[in-house]
Amino acid sequence: MWRRRTAGGHASGARPTAPAASPEPAETPAPAERPSLTIDALGRKCPIPIIMLAEQINNVPMRDVVAVLADDPAAYTDVPAWCRLKSHEHVGSYDLPQGGWAIHVRRNY
């Protein structure tokens, strides 16, 4: 298999190393954008959070954010997968103080 050489590429194939990251503890960042709609699916098992999201995402304007509150571990991975499947944007997943996550989805169409 061949590889195209780009500007600034290295003949040996080696890439410059990135500077070391600071050893700070990882935190879940706070959501940058306030959601237009919040769907409370706490206590419900998958696929119910996804079904609720699919039914209600068209109720918000284009490019607005919907927050899905869920505590089922399957929802943590299934909602972002649904976003990829349906071409919506998974903005981020944020820990809730009472347990679970607020999974933010941006409507793309």
- Active site members: 46
Residues recorded for the chain: 109
The amino acid that residue 21 corresponds to is A
In this structure, how many other beta carbons lie within 10 angstroms of the beta carbon of residue 105? 26
- The DSSP H or E segment spanning 84 is helix 73-86
12: Cα separation from own chain's centroid: 36
Among 99, 97, 46, 38, CA closest to 75: 46
